Structure 1
Amino acid sequence: MANPSAQSRPRIGLLGTGPWAARTHAPALAAHEGVEFAGVWGRRPEAAAELAAASGTRAYDDLDALLAECDAVAVALPPDVQAPIAARAARAGCHLLLDKPLATTVEGAREVVDAADAAGVASVVFCTLRFAPETARWIEEQRATGGWYVAEARWLGSLYGPGSDSPYAASPWRREKGGLWDVGPHVLSVLLPVLGEVTALTAAKGPEDTHHLVLRHASGASSTVTLSLSAPPEAAGAAITLHGTAGRAALPPWNGAVDAYARAVDALLAAAATGTPHPCDARFALRLTELLTEAETRATAP
Protein backbone atom coordinates (compact mmCIF):
# COMPACT_ATOMS: atom_id res chain seq x y z
CA MET A 1 0.00 0.00 0.00
CA ALA A 2 1.16 3.53 -0.68
CA ASN A 3 2.20 5.62 2.32
CA PRO A 4 1.11 9.16 1.49
CA SER A 5 2.00 12.20 3.53
CA ALA A 6 -0.66 13.73 5.76
CA GLN A 7 -1.26 16.46 3.16
CA SER A 8 -1.90 14.18 0.19
CA ARG A 9 -5.24 12.73 -0.79
CA PRO A 10 -5.80 8.99 -0.36
CA ARG A 11 -5.07 7.10 -3.58
CA ILE A 12 -7.80 4.76 -4.75
CA GLY A 13 -7.67 2.30 -7.62
CA LEU A 14 -10.54 0.77 -9.55
CA LEU A 15 -10.68 -2.98 -10.16
CA GLY A 16 -13.07 -3.79 -13.00
CA THR A 17 -14.03 -2.37 -16.38
CA GLY A 18 -17.62 -3.43 -17.08
CA PRO A 19 -20.69 -1.21 -17.58
CA TRP A 20 -21.18 -0.66 -13.84
CA ALA A 21 -17.53 0.39 -13.43
CA ALA A 22 -17.70 2.68 -16.46
CA ARG A 23 -21.07 4.27 -15.62
CA THR A 24 -20.81 4.62 -11.84
CA HIS A 25 -17.49 3.83 -10.18
CA ALA A 26 -15.12 5.60 -12.57
CA PRO A 27 -17.13 8.85 -12.92
CA ALA A 28 -17.61 9.09 -9.16
CA LEU A 29 -13.93 8.47 -8.43
CA ALA A 30 -12.74 10.88 -11.12
CA ALA A 31 -14.98 13.66 -9.77
CA HIS A 32 -14.33 13.09 -6.06
CA GLU A 33 -12.19 15.89 -4.63
CA GLY A 34 -11.21 13.88 -1.56
CA VAL A 35 -9.30 11.12 -3.37
CA GLU A 36 -6.76 10.68 -6.11
CA PHE A 37 -7.97 8.24 -8.75
CA ALA A 38 -4.78 6.20 -8.97
CA GLY A 39 -5.55 3.82 -11.80
CA VAL A 40 -7.64 1.04 -13.32
CA TRP A 41 -7.00 -2.68 -13.51
CA GLY A 42 -9.21 -5.17 -15.34
CA ARG A 43 -9.17 -8.73 -16.54
CA ARG A 44 -9.15 -7.33 -20.11
CA PRO A 45 -6.17 -4.96 -20.48
CA GLU A 46 -7.67 -3.22 -23.52
CA ALA A 47 -10.83 -2.38 -21.57
CA ALA A 48 -8.75 -1.08 -18.65
CA ALA A 49 -6.78 1.14 -21.02
CA GLU A 50 -9.96 2.54 -22.56
CA LEU A 51 -11.63 3.25 -19.22
CA ALA A 52 -8.47 4.77 -17.75
CA ALA A 53 -8.08 7.09 -20.73
CA ALA A 54 -11.70 8.21 -20.47
CA SER A 55 -11.26 8.86 -16.73
CA GLY A 56 -7.97 10.73 -16.84
CA THR A 57 -5.98 8.07 -15.01
CA ARG A 58 -3.57 5.21 -15.74
CA ALA A 59 -4.24 1.58 -16.67
CA TYR A 60 -2.34 -1.19 -14.90
CA ASP A 61 -1.70 -4.63 -16.39
CA ASP A 62 -0.36 -5.91 -13.06
CA LEU A 63 -2.87 -5.99 -10.21
CA ASP A 64 -0.21 -6.13 -7.51
CA ALA A 65 1.51 -3.09 -8.97
CA LEU A 66 -1.71 -1.08 -8.64
CA LEU A 67 -2.34 -2.36 -5.11
CA ALA A 68 1.16 -1.23 -4.12
CA GLU A 69 0.30 2.30 -5.26
CA CYS A 70 -3.06 2.54 -3.48
CA ASP A 71 -4.46 3.30 -0.05
CA ALA A 72 -7.84 1.85 -1.08
CA VAL A 73 -9.48 0.02 -3.94
CA ALA A 74 -12.96 0.19 -5.40
CA VAL A 75 -14.09 -3.19 -6.72
CA ALA A 76 -16.50 -3.54 -9.65
CA LEU A 77 -16.18 -7.24 -10.46
CA PRO A 78 -18.58 -10.22 -10.47
CA PRO A 79 -19.10 -11.34 -6.86
CA ASP A 80 -17.13 -14.56 -6.99
CA VAL A 81 -14.27 -12.79 -8.75
CA GLN A 82 -14.53 -9.87 -6.35
CA ALA A 83 -14.15 -11.92 -3.16
CA PRO A 84 -10.66 -13.42 -3.65
CA ILE A 85 -9.32 -10.22 -5.22
CA ALA A 86 -10.73 -8.11 -2.37
CA ALA A 87 -9.07 -10.43 0.14
CA ARG A 88 -5.83 -10.05 -1.79
CA ALA A 89 -6.18 -6.25 -1.73
CA ALA A 90 -6.84 -6.29 2.01
CA ARG A 91 -3.73 -8.37 2.60
CA ALA A 92 -1.83 -5.71 0.62
CA GLY A 93 -3.09 -3.12 3.12
CA CYS A 94 -5.79 -1.49 0.97
CA HIS A 95 -9.10 -0.31 2.37
CA LEU A 96 -12.03 -1.82 0.49
CA LEU A 97 -14.96 -0.21 -1.32
CA LEU A 98 -16.88 -3.29 -2.41
CA ASP A 99 -19.90 -4.10 -4.55
CA LYS A 100 -22.90 -6.19 -3.65
CA PRO A 101 -23.26 -9.08 -3.29
CA LEU A 102 -19.87 -9.51 -1.67
CA ALA A 103 -19.83 -13.15 -2.83
CA THR A 104 -22.40 -15.82 -3.64
CA THR A 105 -20.84 -18.30 -1.22
CA VAL A 106 -20.52 -17.87 2.53
CA GLU A 107 -16.92 -19.10 2.36
CA GLY A 108 -16.01 -16.46 -0.23
CA ALA A 109 -17.58 -13.63 1.76
CA ARG A 110 -15.96 -14.82 5.00
CA GLU A 111 -12.52 -14.81 3.33
CA VAL A 112 -12.90 -11.08 2.68
CA VAL A 113 -14.03 -10.37 6.24
CA ASP A 114 -11.17 -12.38 7.71
CA ALA A 115 -8.59 -10.71 5.45
CA ALA A 116 -9.88 -7.21 6.27
CA ASP A 117 -9.90 -7.97 10.00
CA ALA A 118 -6.38 -9.42 9.91
CA ALA A 119 -5.02 -6.43 7.98
CA GLY A 120 -6.94 -3.84 9.99
CA VAL A 121 -8.39 -2.20 6.88
CA ALA A 122 -11.78 -0.53 6.61
CA SER A 123 -14.52 -1.76 4.29
CA VAL A 124 -17.76 -0.39 2.84
CA VAL A 125 -20.14 -2.29 0.58
CA PHE A 126 -22.08 -0.19 -1.91
CA CYS A 127 -25.70 -1.05 -1.27
CA THR A 128 -27.12 1.95 -3.14
CA LEU A 129 -30.09 2.63 -0.86
CA ARG A 130 -27.83 2.99 2.17
CA PHE A 131 -25.96 5.85 0.49
CA ALA A 132 -28.43 7.68 -1.77
CA PRO A 133 -29.31 10.75 0.35
CA GLU A 134 -33.08 10.38 0.06
CA THR A 135 -33.23 6.73 1.05
CA ALA A 136 -30.39 6.84 3.59
CA ARG A 137 -32.21 9.60 5.46
CA TRP A 138 -35.49 7.66 5.30
CA ILE A 139 -33.86 4.52 6.70
CA GLU A 140 -32.50 6.43 9.70
CA GLU A 141 -35.86 8.12 10.28
CA GLN A 142 -37.74 4.83 10.26
CA ARG A 143 -35.17 3.15 12.48
CA ALA A 144 -35.62 5.96 15.02
CA THR A 145 -39.42 5.81 14.76
CA GLY A 146 -39.69 2.08 15.45
CA GLY A 147 -42.95 0.29 16.27
CA TRP A 148 -43.09 -1.41 12.85
CA TYR A 149 -45.37 -4.42 12.57
CA VAL A 150 -44.94 -5.65 9.00
CA ALA A 151 -43.08 -4.60 5.87
CA GLU A 152 -43.75 -5.33 2.21
CA ALA A 153 -40.91 -5.12 -0.30
CA ARG A 154 -41.04 -5.59 -4.05
CA TRP A 155 -38.21 -5.17 -6.54
CA LEU A 156 -39.25 -6.24 -10.01
CA GLY A 157 -36.58 -5.57 -12.61
CA SER A 158 -37.09 -6.16 -16.32
CA LEU A 159 -33.43 -6.84 -17.16
CA TYR A 160 -34.50 -10.09 -18.84
CA GLY A 161 -38.01 -8.97 -19.71
CA PRO A 162 -39.28 -8.67 -23.28
CA GLY A 163 -37.48 -6.01 -25.31
CA SER A 164 -34.74 -5.34 -22.77
CA ASP A 165 -31.57 -3.80 -24.18
CA SER A 166 -29.79 -3.26 -20.87
CA PRO A 167 -25.99 -3.65 -21.00
CA TYR A 168 -26.21 -5.53 -17.71
CA ALA A 169 -28.20 -8.35 -19.34
CA ALA A 170 -24.92 -9.74 -20.69
CA SER A 171 -23.66 -10.35 -17.15
CA PRO A 172 -23.20 -14.13 -16.70
CA TRP A 173 -23.51 -14.05 -12.91
CA ARG A 174 -26.76 -12.08 -13.05
CA ARG A 175 -28.15 -14.54 -15.59
CA GLU A 176 -27.22 -17.44 -13.31
CA LYS A 177 -28.21 -15.98 -9.93
CA GLY A 178 -31.11 -13.69 -10.88
CA GLY A 179 -32.90 -11.08 -8.85
CA LEU A 180 -32.42 -12.86 -5.53
CA TRP A 181 -28.71 -12.08 -5.58
CA ASP A 182 -28.70 -8.89 -7.67
CA VAL A 183 -31.45 -6.82 -6.06
CA GLY A 184 -31.97 -8.87 -2.90
CA PRO A 185 -29.03 -7.15 -1.16
CA HIS A 186 -30.63 -3.75 -1.79
CA VAL A 187 -33.89 -4.77 -0.10
CA LEU A 188 -32.20 -6.50 2.82
CA SER A 189 -29.93 -3.50 3.33
CA VAL A 190 -33.07 -1.49 4.15
CA LEU A 191 -35.05 -4.06 6.13
CA LEU A 192 -32.30 -5.18 8.50
CA PRO A 193 -31.36 -1.77 9.94
CA VAL A 194 -35.04 -0.80 10.32
CA LEU A 195 -36.59 -4.07 11.55
CA GLY A 196 -33.59 -5.85 13.04
CA GLU A 197 -31.73 -9.07 12.42
CA VAL A 198 -33.50 -11.88 10.59
CA THR A 199 -34.35 -14.67 13.04
CA ALA A 200 -36.33 -16.92 10.67
CA LEU A 201 -36.62 -17.14 6.89
CA THR A 202 -38.53 -19.10 4.31
CA ALA A 203 -38.57 -18.75 0.54
CA ALA A 204 -40.32 -20.00 -2.59
CA LYS A 205 -39.71 -19.64 -6.30
CA GLY A 206 -42.05 -17.81 -8.63
CA PRO A 207 -41.97 -17.46 -12.42
CA GLU A 208 -38.52 -17.47 -14.07
CA ASP A 209 -35.97 -16.04 -11.60
CA THR A 210 -38.60 -14.61 -9.22
CA HIS A 211 -38.22 -15.39 -5.51
CA HIS A 212 -40.61 -14.74 -2.64
CA LEU A 213 -39.18 -14.43 0.88
CA VAL A 214 -40.91 -14.27 4.26
CA LEU A 215 -38.72 -12.98 7.09
CA ARG A 216 -39.10 -12.74 10.84
CA HIS A 217 -37.05 -10.02 12.53
CA ALA A 218 -35.56 -9.57 15.98
CA SER A 219 -37.90 -6.62 16.61
CA GLY A 220 -40.91 -8.96 16.32
CA ALA A 221 -41.88 -7.54 12.93
CA SER A 222 -42.20 -9.66 9.81
CA SER A 223 -41.56 -8.79 6.19
CA THR A 224 -42.38 -10.17 2.77
CA VAL A 225 -40.05 -9.68 -0.19
CA THR A 226 -40.52 -10.32 -3.93
CA LEU A 227 -37.47 -10.15 -6.20
CA SER A 228 -37.08 -10.59 -9.95
CA LEU A 229 -35.07 -9.48 -12.98
CA SER A 230 -37.51 -11.00 -15.49
CA ALA A 231 -40.69 -8.99 -15.01
CA PRO A 232 -42.49 -7.47 -18.01
CA PRO A 233 -41.43 -3.83 -18.39
CA GLU A 234 -44.98 -2.74 -17.60
CA ALA A 235 -44.72 -4.43 -14.18
CA ALA A 236 -41.23 -3.22 -13.27
CA GLY A 237 -40.58 -1.11 -10.21
CA ALA A 238 -39.30 -1.10 -6.66
CA ALA A 239 -41.16 -0.32 -3.44
CA ILE A 240 -40.72 -0.90 0.28
CA THR A 241 -43.57 -0.07 2.62
CA LEU A 242 -43.61 -0.26 6.42
CA HIS A 243 -46.77 -0.56 8.55
CA GLY A 244 -46.83 0.01 12.29
CA THR A 245 -47.86 2.19 15.20
CA ALA A 246 -46.69 5.29 13.32
CA GLY A 247 -48.93 4.40 10.38
CA ARG A 248 -47.52 3.70 6.95
CA ALA A 249 -44.14 4.75 5.53
CA ALA A 250 -43.01 4.22 1.93
CA LEU A 251 -39.43 4.30 0.69
CA PRO A 252 -38.96 7.55 -1.29
CA PRO A 253 -37.57 7.67 -4.83
CA TRP A 254 -33.84 8.23 -5.20
CA ASN A 255 -31.56 9.79 -7.81
CA GLY A 256 -28.70 8.24 -9.77
CA ALA A 257 -26.00 5.98 -8.40
CA VAL A 258 -23.00 8.24 -9.07
CA ASP A 259 -23.85 10.66 -6.25
CA ALA A 260 -24.64 7.77 -3.93
CA TYR A 261 -21.30 6.18 -4.78
CA ALA A 262 -19.49 9.40 -3.88
CA ARG A 263 -21.11 9.17 -0.44
CA ALA A 264 -19.89 5.59 -0.15
CA VAL A 265 -16.37 6.86 -0.86
CA ASP A 266 -16.86 9.41 1.93
CA ALA A 267 -18.01 6.63 4.26
CA LEU A 268 -14.92 4.55 3.51
CA LEU A 269 -12.62 7.52 4.12
CA ALA A 270 -14.32 8.18 7.46
CA ALA A 271 -14.08 4.53 8.53
CA ALA A 272 -10.41 4.40 7.56
CA ALA A 273 -9.62 7.64 9.40
CA THR A 274 -11.51 6.86 12.61
CA GLY A 275 -11.23 3.09 12.82
CA THR A 276 -14.99 2.94 13.43
CA PRO A 277 -16.62 0.29 11.22
CA HIS A 278 -19.37 1.46 8.90
CA PRO A 279 -22.73 -0.32 9.40
CA CYS A 280 -22.68 -1.42 5.75
CA ASP A 281 -19.27 -3.08 5.79
CA ALA A 282 -17.93 -6.46 4.70
CA ARG A 283 -19.23 -8.13 7.86
CA PHE A 284 -22.75 -6.87 7.09
CA ALA A 285 -22.34 -8.08 3.50
CA LEU A 286 -21.31 -11.52 4.83
CA ARG A 287 -24.61 -11.63 6.70
CA LEU A 288 -26.46 -10.76 3.48
CA THR A 289 -24.70 -13.63 1.72
CA GLU A 290 -25.70 -16.00 4.55
CA LEU A 291 -29.35 -14.94 4.24
CA LEU A 292 -29.44 -15.14 0.44
CA THR A 293 -27.79 -18.56 0.54
CA GLU A 294 -30.43 -19.78 2.98
CA ALA A 295 -33.21 -18.32 0.83
CA GLU A 296 -31.83 -19.99 -2.30
CA THR A 297 -31.59 -23.32 -0.51
CA ARG A 298 -35.10 -23.15 0.91
CA ALA A 299 -36.58 -22.06 -2.43
CA THR A 300 -35.11 -25.03 -4.24
CA ALA A 301 -35.81 -27.64 -1.54
CA PRO A 302 -38.21 -30.42 -2.63
Structure 2
Amino acid sequence: MRIGLLGTGPWAGMTHAPALQEHPDLDFVGVWGRRPDAAKELADQHGTHAYDDVDALFADVDAVAVALPPAVQADLAARAARAGLHLLLDKPLATTVDQGRAVVEAVQETGVASVVFFTSRFVPETDAWIAEQAGTGGWFTARAQWLGAVFSGDSPFATPWRREKGALWDVGPHALSVLLPILGDTRRVAAAAPGPGDTVQLILDHASGASSTLTLSLTAPPAASGADVELRGESGVIHLPDSAVGPVPALIRAADALIASAAGGQPHPCDAAFGLRVTEILAEAESLLNANAG
Protein backbone atom coordinates (compact mmCIF):
# COMPACT_ATOMS: atom_id res chain seq x y z
CA MET A 1 0.00 0.00 0.00
CA ARG A 2 1.40 3.40 -1.02
CA ILE A 3 0.91 5.82 1.86
CA GLY A 4 1.60 9.47 2.50
CA LEU A 5 1.94 11.34 5.77
CA LEU A 6 0.08 14.57 6.53
CA GLY A 7 1.79 16.46 9.34
CA THR A 8 5.28 17.38 10.48
CA GLY A 9 4.95 17.99 14.23
CA PRO A 10 6.44 16.03 17.15
CA TRP A 11 3.94 13.15 16.92
CA ALA A 12 4.54 12.82 13.18
CA GLY A 13 8.31 12.77 13.67
CA MET A 14 8.43 10.48 16.70
CA THR A 15 5.72 8.00 15.76
CA HIS A 16 4.15 8.23 12.31
CA ALA A 17 7.20 8.60 10.10
CA PRO A 18 9.19 5.79 11.81
CA ALA A 19 6.18 3.44 11.75
CA LEU A 20 5.42 4.08 8.08
CA GLN A 21 9.09 3.63 7.18
CA GLU A 22 9.45 0.39 9.16
CA HIS A 23 6.24 -1.28 8.03
CA PRO A 24 7.09 -4.05 5.55
CA ASP A 25 3.83 -3.73 3.61
CA LEU A 26 3.80 0.04 3.20
CA ASP A 27 5.54 2.17 0.61
CA PHE A 28 6.15 5.48 2.40
CA VAL A 29 5.75 7.79 -0.60
CA GLY A 30 6.02 11.22 0.95
CA VAL A 31 5.19 13.92 3.47
CA TRP A 32 3.01 17.01 3.27
CA GLY A 33 2.83 19.65 5.97
CA ARG A 34 1.61 23.17 6.54
CA ARG A 35 5.28 24.17 6.90
CA PRO A 36 7.13 23.15 3.70
CA ASP A 37 10.58 23.40 5.34
CA ALA A 38 9.49 20.99 8.09
CA ALA A 39 8.04 18.61 5.52
CA LYS A 40 11.33 18.55 3.62
CA GLU A 41 13.32 17.98 6.80
CA LEU A 42 11.11 15.07 7.91
CA ALA A 43 11.07 13.55 4.43
CA ASP A 44 14.85 13.74 4.17
CA GLN A 45 15.22 12.01 7.54
CA HIS A 46 13.21 9.05 6.28
CA GLY A 47 14.36 8.83 2.69
CA THR A 48 11.10 9.92 1.12
CA HIS A 49 9.74 12.98 -0.71
CA ALA A 50 8.27 16.27 0.48
CA TYR A 51 5.14 17.58 -1.22
CA ASP A 52 4.17 21.24 -1.41
CA ASP A 53 0.71 20.40 -2.77
CA VAL A 54 -1.45 18.03 -0.74
CA ASP A 55 -3.53 17.10 -3.79
CA ALA A 56 -0.35 16.04 -5.59
CA LEU A 57 0.40 13.69 -2.70
CA PHE A 58 -3.18 12.38 -2.81
CA ALA A 59 -2.67 11.56 -6.50
CA ASP A 60 0.42 9.43 -5.76
CA VAL A 61 -0.85 7.25 -2.89
CA ASP A 62 -3.48 4.70 -1.88
CA ALA A 63 -3.78 5.91 1.72
CA VAL A 64 -2.83 8.72 4.05
CA ALA A 65 -1.74 8.75 7.68
CA VAL A 66 -2.68 11.94 9.49
CA ALA A 67 -0.77 13.58 12.35
CA LEU A 68 -2.41 17.00 12.50
CA PRO A 69 -4.59 18.93 14.95
CA PRO A 70 -8.09 17.42 14.89
CA ALA A 71 -9.81 20.36 13.20
CA VAL A 72 -7.24 20.27 10.38
CA GLN A 73 -7.31 16.47 10.24
CA ALA A 74 -11.07 16.28 9.80
CA ASP A 75 -11.22 18.54 6.75
CA LEU A 76 -8.26 16.88 5.03
CA ALA A 77 -9.49 13.37 5.89
CA ALA A 78 -12.83 14.05 4.21
CA ARG A 79 -11.00 15.36 1.12
CA ALA A 80 -8.70 12.34 1.07
CA ALA A 81 -11.59 9.90 1.38
CA ARG A 82 -13.38 11.57 -1.51
CA ALA A 83 -10.16 11.14 -3.49
CA GLY A 84 -10.50 7.38 -2.83
CA LEU A 85 -7.78 7.11 -0.19
CA HIS A 86 -7.84 4.87 2.86
CA LEU A 87 -7.41 6.71 6.15
CA LEU A 88 -5.09 6.08 9.09
CA LEU A 89 -6.27 8.82 11.44
CA ASP A 90 -5.30 10.09 14.86
CA LYS A 91 -7.55 10.66 17.85
CA PRO A 92 -9.70 12.61 18.31
CA LEU A 93 -11.23 12.29 14.88
CA ALA A 94 -12.57 15.84 15.26
CA THR A 95 -13.57 18.25 17.99
CA THR A 96 -17.00 19.03 16.57
CA VAL A 97 -19.71 16.55 15.67
CA ASP A 98 -20.29 18.17 12.28
CA GLN A 99 -16.64 17.78 11.27
CA GLY A 100 -16.55 14.19 12.46
CA ARG A 101 -19.77 13.37 10.64
CA ALA A 102 -18.36 14.84 7.43
CA VAL A 103 -15.45 12.39 7.60
CA VAL A 104 -17.75 9.43 8.22
CA GLU A 105 -20.05 10.43 5.37
CA ALA A 106 -17.08 10.68 2.98
CA VAL A 107 -15.87 7.23 4.08
CA GLN A 108 -19.32 5.73 3.60
CA GLU A 109 -19.82 7.35 0.21
CA THR A 110 -16.53 6.08 -1.21
CA GLY A 111 -16.14 2.77 0.64
CA VAL A 112 -12.57 3.45 1.72
CA ALA A 113 -11.16 1.84 4.87
CA SER A 114 -10.54 3.88 7.99
CA VAL A 115 -8.73 3.28 11.28
CA VAL A 116 -8.41 5.80 14.11
CA PHE A 117 -5.23 5.35 16.14
CA PHE A 118 -6.46 5.01 19.71
CA THR A 119 -3.05 3.93 20.99
CA SER A 120 -4.22 1.54 23.72
CA ARG A 121 -6.40 -0.41 21.30
CA PHE A 122 -3.34 -1.39 19.27
CA VAL A 123 -1.21 -2.56 22.19
CA PRO A 124 -1.52 -6.39 22.15
CA GLU A 125 -1.81 -6.87 25.92
CA THR A 126 -4.35 -4.08 26.30
CA ASP A 127 -6.39 -5.20 23.31
CA ALA A 128 -6.52 -8.77 24.66
CA TRP A 129 -7.51 -7.49 28.13
CA ILE A 130 -10.34 -5.40 26.68
CA ALA A 131 -11.67 -8.37 24.70
CA GLU A 132 -11.47 -10.61 27.77
CA GLN A 133 -13.36 -8.15 29.99
CA ALA A 134 -15.97 -7.50 27.31
CA GLY A 135 -16.56 -11.23 27.10
CA THR A 136 -16.75 -11.60 30.87
CA GLY A 137 -19.48 -8.98 31.33
CA GLY A 138 -21.36 -8.37 34.54
CA TRP A 139 -19.56 -5.11 35.26
CA PHE A 140 -21.20 -2.80 37.78
CA THR A 141 -18.95 0.25 37.57
CA ALA A 142 -15.58 1.44 36.30
CA ARG A 143 -13.10 4.15 37.19
CA ALA A 144 -10.66 5.51 34.61
CA GLN A 145 -7.85 7.95 35.36
CA TRP A 146 -5.78 9.34 32.48
CA LEU A 147 -3.37 11.87 33.94
CA GLY A 148 -0.63 13.57 31.97
CA ALA A 149 1.93 16.22 32.84
CA VAL A 150 2.17 17.76 29.37
CA PHE A 151 1.95 21.33 30.64
CA SER A 152 4.24 20.82 33.64
CA GLY A 153 7.55 21.07 31.76
CA ASP A 154 8.98 21.47 28.27
CA SER A 155 6.96 18.71 26.60
CA PRO A 156 6.89 18.91 22.79
CA PHE A 157 3.21 17.96 23.03
CA ALA A 158 2.17 21.21 24.74
CA THR A 159 0.77 22.25 21.37
CA PRO A 160 -1.73 25.06 20.71
CA TRP A 161 -4.67 22.75 20.10
CA ARG A 162 -4.02 20.88 23.38
CA ARG A 163 -3.80 24.16 25.25
CA GLU A 164 -7.12 25.19 23.73
CA LYS A 165 -9.04 21.91 24.09
CA GLY A 166 -7.29 20.38 27.11
CA ALA A 167 -7.39 16.90 28.58
CA LEU A 168 -11.02 16.25 27.69
CA TRP A 169 -10.15 16.05 24.01
CA ASP A 170 -6.58 14.74 24.24
CA VAL A 171 -6.73 11.90 26.76
CA GLY A 172 -10.51 11.55 26.95
CA PRO A 173 -10.50 9.54 23.69
CA HIS A 174 -7.99 7.08 25.20
CA ALA A 175 -10.21 6.42 28.22
CA LEU A 176 -13.35 6.03 26.10
CA SER A 177 -11.60 3.68 23.68
CA VAL A 178 -11.03 1.28 26.59
CA LEU A 179 -14.34 1.70 28.43
CA LEU A 180 -16.84 1.60 25.55
CA PRO A 181 -15.97 -1.89 24.25
CA ILE A 182 -16.30 -3.27 27.79
CA LEU A 183 -19.29 -1.39 29.23
CA GLY A 184 -21.12 -0.58 26.00
CA ASP A 185 -22.11 2.73 24.49
CA THR A 186 -23.15 5.61 26.69
CA ARG A 187 -26.76 6.63 27.14
CA ARG A 188 -25.73 10.01 28.49
CA VAL A 189 -23.00 11.99 30.17
CA ALA A 190 -24.59 12.21 33.61
CA ALA A 191 -22.20 14.84 34.97
CA ALA A 192 -19.13 16.86 33.99
CA ALA A 193 -17.15 19.03 36.37
CA PRO A 194 -13.83 20.90 36.16
CA GLY A 195 -10.88 20.21 38.45
CA PRO A 196 -7.48 21.85 38.90
CA GLY A 197 -5.77 23.08 35.78
CA ASP A 198 -7.39 21.52 32.74
CA THR A 199 -8.62 18.50 34.75
CA VAL A 200 -12.17 17.32 34.07
CA GLN A 201 -14.24 14.67 35.81
CA LEU A 202 -17.06 12.85 34.03
CA ILE A 203 -19.76 10.40 35.06
CA LEU A 204 -21.09 8.24 32.24
CA ASP A 205 -24.25 6.14 32.12
CA HIS A 206 -23.73 3.11 29.87
CA ALA A 207 -26.31 1.15 27.90
CA SER A 208 -25.32 -2.01 29.80
CA GLY A 209 -26.56 -0.42 33.04
CA ALA A 210 -23.03 0.15 34.32
CA SER A 211 -21.67 3.55 35.27
CA SER A 212 -18.15 4.89 34.90
CA THR A 213 -16.20 7.84 36.24
CA LEU A 214 -13.35 9.46 34.33
CA THR A 215 -10.66 11.80 35.63
CA LEU A 216 -8.72 13.40 32.80
CA SER A 217 -5.81 15.83 33.02
CA LEU A 218 -2.78 17.17 31.20
CA THR A 219 -1.74 19.31 34.15
CA ALA A 220 -1.12 16.65 36.78
CA PRO A 221 2.15 16.73 38.75
CA PRO A 222 4.69 14.55 36.94
CA ALA A 223 4.90 12.18 39.92
CA ALA A 224 1.13 11.65 39.73
CA SER A 225 0.90 11.06 35.98
CA GLY A 226 -0.16 7.77 34.48
CA ALA A 227 -3.23 5.83 33.37
CA ASP A 228 -5.35 3.34 35.26
CA VAL A 229 -8.68 1.64 34.63
CA GLU A 230 -10.43 -0.27 37.41
CA LEU A 231 -13.47 -2.46 36.79
CA ARG A 232 -15.78 -3.74 39.53
CA GLY A 233 -18.48 -6.32 38.97
CA GLU A 234 -19.59 -9.89 39.40
CA SER A 235 -16.05 -11.13 38.72
CA GLY A 236 -14.54 -8.88 41.39
CA VAL A 237 -12.06 -6.05 40.88
CA ILE A 238 -9.63 -5.92 37.98
CA HIS A 239 -7.19 -3.33 36.66
CA LEU A 240 -5.86 -2.50 33.22
CA PRO A 241 -2.45 -4.19 32.94
CA ASP A 242 0.69 -2.18 32.36
CA SER A 243 2.44 -2.45 29.02
CA ALA A 244 5.88 -1.43 27.81
CA VAL A 245 4.83 -1.33 24.15
CA GLY A 246 5.61 2.07 22.66
CA PRO A 247 3.59 4.07 20.14
CA VAL A 248 5.62 3.06 17.06
CA PRO A 249 4.85 -0.69 17.34
CA ALA A 250 1.25 0.20 18.18
CA LEU A 251 0.94 2.36 15.06
CA ILE A 252 2.44 -0.42 12.95
CA ARG A 253 -0.40 -2.64 14.24
CA ALA A 254 -2.90 0.09 13.34
CA ALA A 255 -1.47 0.13 9.82
CA ASP A 256 -1.88 -3.67 9.74
CA ALA A 257 -5.53 -3.16 10.62
CA LEU A 258 -5.97 -0.59 7.84
CA ILE A 259 -4.40 -2.90 5.27
CA ALA A 260 -6.63 -5.79 6.39
CA SER A 261 -9.76 -3.65 6.31
CA ALA A 262 -8.92 -2.29 2.87
CA ALA A 263 -8.31 -5.82 1.55
CA GLY A 264 -11.29 -7.50 3.19
CA GLY A 265 -13.85 -4.74 3.15
CA GLN A 266 -14.77 -5.21 6.81
CA PRO A 267 -14.74 -2.13 9.03
CA HIS A 268 -12.33 -2.14 11.96
CA PRO A 269 -13.80 -1.59 15.47
CA CYS A 270 -11.77 1.65 15.66
CA ASP A 271 -12.98 3.03 12.36
CA ALA A 272 -14.13 6.58 11.64
CA ALA A 273 -17.66 5.76 12.84
CA PHE A 274 -16.29 4.80 16.26
CA GLY A 275 -14.18 7.96 16.21
CA LEU A 276 -17.34 9.97 15.56
CA ARG A 277 -19.11 8.32 18.51
CA VAL A 278 -16.21 9.30 20.78
CA THR A 279 -16.44 12.86 19.45
CA GLU A 280 -20.18 12.93 20.16
CA ILE A 281 -19.65 11.87 23.79
CA LEU A 282 -16.86 14.39 24.34
CA ALA A 283 -18.93 17.17 22.74
CA GLU A 284 -21.79 16.32 25.11
CA ALA A 285 -19.39 16.51 28.06
CA GLU A 286 -17.98 19.82 26.78
CA SER A 287 -21.48 21.28 26.58
CA LEU A 288 -22.15 20.30 30.19
CA LEU A 289 -18.85 21.83 31.31
CA ASN A 290 -19.66 25.07 29.48
CA ALA A 291 -23.15 25.16 30.97
CA ASN A 292 -21.77 24.64 34.47
CA ALA A 293 -19.19 27.37 33.91
CA GLY A 294 -21.97 29.75 32.91
TM range (shorter): over 0.9
Is 1:206 aligned with 2:195?
yes
Poorly superposed stretches of 4+, deviation over 2 Å: none
From 160, 173, 193, give the equivalent of 2:181.
Answer: 193
Structure 1 residue 253: Cα displacement: 1.5
CA distance in 1 between counterparts of 2:287 and 2:47 reads 45
Partner of 1:236: 225
Percent identity reads 65
Structure 1 residue 195: Cα displacement: 0.3
Structure 1 residue 252: Cα displacement: 1.1
CA distance in 1 between counterparts of 2:132 and 2:44 reads 42
What CA deviation, in whole Å up to 9, does each residue of 1:72-101 have, x standing for no partner?
Answer: 100000000000000010011000000000
From 121, 129, 138, give the equivalent of 1:130.
Answer: 121
Structure 1 residue 133: Cα displacement: 1.0
Structure 1 residue 300: Cα displacement: 2.1
Partner of 1:7: none
CA distance in 2 between counterparts of 1:186 and 1:156 reads 11
Is 1:298 aligned with 2:288?
yes
1:204 and 1:300 in contact (8 A); partners too: no
Paired residues for 1:1-302 under 5 Å: 10-161=1-152, 164-169=153-158, 171-201=159-189, 202-254=191-243, 255-302=245-292
Normalising by structure 1, report the TM-score: 0.95
**Count of residue correspondences:** 290
Gaps of 5+ in 2: none
Aligned-residue CA RMSD in angstroms?
Answer: 0.8
1:205 and 1:300 in contact (8 A); partners too: no
1:75 and 1:97 in contact (8 A); partners too: yes
Gaps of 5+ in 1: 1-9
Structure 1 residue 138: Cα displacement: 0.8
What CA deviation, in whole Å up to 9, does each residue of 1:195-252 have, x standing for no partner?
Answer: 0010121211111211000011111111000000011112111100111111111111
Structure 1 residue 165: Cα displacement: 1.5
Structure 1 residue 156: Cα displacement: 1.1
SS at match of 2:150: coil
CA distance in 1 between counterparts of 2:278 and 2:188 reads 14
Amino acid corresponding to residue 199 of structure 1 in structure 2: R
SS at match of 1:21: helix
